[in-house]
Structure 1
Amino acid sequence: MLSYSLRNVCILKPSQCRITRALQHTWRHCSTSPSEGLDQVRTLLQLCVDRYYVSPGQTNTELFQRGVSCSYGPLGTELRRNLLEQWWHSVNSSTEQVFGINTLSSSKDTGTDALRIVECEPLKHILEQQELSKEQLIQKIQTLIQRSPSLRENFLQGALEQFVPSLELVNRKLPFGLAETGLCFHPSDGSGCPAEVTQTSLVWFCPPRTSSQWLDHWTRQRLKWWRKFALSPSDFSSSVVPEEELEESASRGVRIVYSFPWGQEPLETLCSRGNTELLQTYKGVRSKLQCRDGRKSVPHVVSVTGNMDRGVMAFLSNSLQQLKKEDSKQKLLQRKVLKLHPVLAPVKVALDIGRGATVELRQVCEGLLQEFMDAKISTWPGYLETLPTSMEQLNTKYDEMGVLFTVVISENTLESGLLQVRSRDTTIKETKHISEVKNFLSRYISAADHI
């Protein structure tokens, strides 16, 4: 099967494409009815487009819903970055001896079932040779494919190759882990084009006698981490990978899954892989692999592989609340709020101006914006908006963006230093002195991170 890209290369896979399971779950897994679930999905996808999480376009939103890398908007990009930072922090702080690595996305791998980058010009040249028989044509194309660099589908092999160079770093003692994040390529789901996925990977090397306990340890840690940021933690759960679905080298596996409106989808997969792949990587030379654990044994591998694009989708789905409210004319309206965890929220505070001298108020906003930036508090400069908008409309917009607080600078601020702070989660408006706001926000975010 040949799959062409719009650039000067195409991506090929010698064998038949494997089918993903992204949206093949049945509705019987849902806690809501099919129509309610579909409505939730439509509402979420439209909100993500309207509020700068995902770029518009049917194809792009379909990629996003499938849990693969899509074209993110400014807020979606920031949310994914926050999620990756928290993942990195979690694997480094939950136990000692985890080191970051960076491997190439392509290599001269000799595997016959790998995705490969093939330049179009050599391929076109072969196809234009009309004197070739069918068998000769197939042979030349196969040779071209096999000589082309392969694209990684996960980070495992790169970590295995880094094992021996990393041994001296840890004085040849176990356990330790190698972590990496970045893009990987998943085989086509029938569309003819492989999908990019933002993956996280922890490859944990441990003594053979403790590999089962380490798999259990990391399962508890990872489920706890996902639930930490959830508005509804029970939507995140773990399940054992059925034996028939395990990779050939894995003896045991666990999935961290999220219950979407259409069914459960895996966010992370943990596997106890034994030492077969490690031995294959180093051509069976056991002496290179032995560590100081009191026995001359080859370490076992526990892999933790996550899909952060699906993780972004999971937290957006989990945080969306649709609440009933009355407007100023006592008309019943539906209020949509993205109650993202304070640490993950792309925008912590929005700065707006109320009534008063516009030039002076903007100067105050600029000074406050600089304070927030210095404190690494992401801020939406709403005061730069030129179109007249009511505070009610602004609150609706910021709630749907997931902004934690809205700070309004008014004429009263110029006179007394007092301003108004509105909370996304409670809708309560408090009056604070301008000198207190930065510390208040920093303490709030820090406290939320330690819950």
Structure 2
Amino acid sequence: MLTYCMRKRLCRVNSNLLQFYKHYGKSSDGGSDPASSMMQLLQRRFFIPPEDYHAVSLLKGKACAYGPLGVDLKRNMLEQWWSSMVRSRPQVFGISTLHGVGDKGAGEVEDLSKESKLVRRRQPFRTSLLQGALAQYIPSLELMNRKLPFGLAETGLCYRPEEDDSDAIGCSAEVTEASLVWFCSFRTSLQWLDYWTQHRLQWWRKFALGPSDFSMCDVQDDELIDGASRGAKVLYKFPWGTETLETLWMFSEAELLKRHPSNQAKLECRDGKKAVVPHVLSLGANMDRGVLAVLLNSLQDIQKVDNKQRLHQRTVLKLHPTLAPVKVALDMGKGSTSELRQVCEGLLHELLEVGISAWPGYMDTTHSSMDKLHTKYDEMGVLFTVMVGENTLENGLLLVRNRDTTVRETMHISEIREFILKCISKAENI
């Protein structure tokens, strides 16, 4: 039997969920409930767990529990971010810092009781990844022979409590941040701020069906955080209003001097022939809110009239090929079940060996019509559906359906792997 306190808590949860859906469900043009529809799709198609408080966390731009497809989508986004920031740039190095780094300067000491220390060990207290990069600045100088510019990149959880979190029981207070801290001279800092702002906007737009929903703006003077002289934001136009995906801050050399108060000589780098303490640019992206933005931007309701003038509507998650959690779904048509299953299993392993994520639809014992299968895979964002049938056993031919065009073409089983790899590679280079 539930206690009175537990019943009261559950009532508050349900009430808060209704309030959240009421707020986020309103589109700017007066449309109906886009948030609720999206959350139902994400829960139905294995992106997030079915409990509603995960949906509330995601709507608020906070970290939530992810299902199998949500985990892969988020991982793909982080890998694309890492590739664009670190792997393709000789001046950027990856780092990893502990949750307990926090925002304190090196000279600050705190007298904590045993209880307080225990609590600090149990949860991350950092609110951004900036301080971790500042702490690793001095040992990183040798990587660049003390020459500017260079950057330190990191991804991880940050603690972001908000005043309105008390209204959302069960809502996470953490966000997944992707951070680049860029060290440059004073004379080039404005140019670098402009460069990185444009770079970050173009990066988000690269994956978008509707690039115009992503925009940027300068931060107003009254919105600047302590120590920042300028700032910029990358924004996304959600159905319920515009929210910030990424913030860029420009700090003076004082930020490093504050972190390393007694080491000015060790902070100096070469800017041409001069020895200077660099200015600091901090780029921080909320990747959980970014996941939601990408999902909403990819969602399409497509109407089509068939030969008999009947109207058909399908919902499709047109995720960018590099971000789609599942590239290929494998299913069986008519024929010997055991033999077709063996072909599917062999093809599945062949795709997985080259890094192509595949969904084993042939393992589903419930028989569904082709229309229902396509509906399911369209909502999962699957790029291609491959149907193995009697022709495959006779002459190696498969039926391949394209998610975006719905065109079905016949292809030999030996060609499917290279075909998928080529499609993904082409999308990466756009």
The change in CA–CA distance for 1:164 and 1:99 in structure 2 (over 3 A counts) is same
Match of 1:84 in 2: 78
Pairs within 5 Å for 1:236-251 = 236-251=214-229
Pairwise CA distance, 1:95: 3.8
* 2: CA distance, partners of 1:262 / 1:45: 14
Residue identity matched to 2:359: W
Match of 2:411 in 1: 432
Match of 2:361 in 1: 382
Matched, 1:256 2:234: yes
Match of 1:450 in 2: 429
* 2: CA distance, partners of 1:252 / 1:383: 55
For this pair of structures, how many residues does the alignment match?
A: 402
* 2: CA distance, partners of 1:343 / 1:110: 38
Pairwise CA distance, 1:162: 0.4
* 2: CA distance, partners of 1:172 / 1:297: 10
Match of 1:274 in 2: 252
Residue identity matched to 1:156: L
Q: Is the 8 A contact 2:217 2:232 kept in 1?
A: yes
* 2: CA distance, partners of 1:102 / 1:146: 19
Match of 1:414 in 2: 393
Match of 1:334 in 2: 313
Structure 2: runs of 5+ lacking an equivalent: 1-19
* 1: CA distance, partners of 2:400 / 2:392: 12
Q: Is the 8 A contact 1:23 1:66 kept in 2?
A: no
Pairwise CA distance, 1:58: 2.0
* 2: CA distance, partners of 1:335 / 1:312: 22
The one of 90, 95, 100 equivalent to 1:101 is: 95
* 1: CA distance, partners of 2:118 / 2:331: 59
Matched, 1:174 2:174: no
Match of 1:41 in 2: 35
Pairwise CA distance, 1:191: 3.2
Pairs within 5 Å for 1:28-427 = 32-34=28-30, 36=31, 38-93=32-87, 95-107=89-101, 122=115, 151-192=125-166, 195-293=173-271, 294-325=273-304, 331-427=310-406
Q: CA RMSD in A?
A: 2.8
Match of 2:13 in 1: none
* 2: CA distance, partners of 1:321 / 1:443: 25
The change in CA–CA distance for 1:191 and 1:317 in structure 2 (over 3 A counts) is same
The change in CA–CA distance for 1:150 and 1:400 in structure 2 (over 3 A counts) is closer
* 2: CA distance, partners of 1:337 / 1:149: 39
Residue identity matched to 1:446: S
* 2: CA distance, partners of 1:145 / 1:366: 48
Structure 1: runs of 5+ lacking an equivalent: 1-21, 124-142
The change in CA–CA distance for 1:419 and 1:157 in structure 2 (over 3 A counts) is same
Q: Is the 8 A contact 2:25 2:35 kept in 1?
A: no
> C-alpha offsets along residues 261-308 of structure 1, whole Å, 9 cap, x if unaligned?
011111111111111110011115321111122223210001100000
TM-score of the aligned structures, taking structure 1 as reference length: 0.83
Segment of structure 1 superposing worse, 42-51 or 305-314: 42-51
The change in CA–CA distance for 1:147 and 1:264 in structure 2 (over 3 A counts) is closer
SS in 2 for 1:435: coil
> C-alpha offsets along residues 379-432 of structure 1, whole Å, 9 cap, x if unaligned?
000000011111110000000000000000001110111110000000000000
Q: Is the 8 A contact 1:346 1:403 kept in 2?
A: yes
The change in CA–CA distance for 1:167 and 1:360 in structure 2 (over 3 A counts) is same
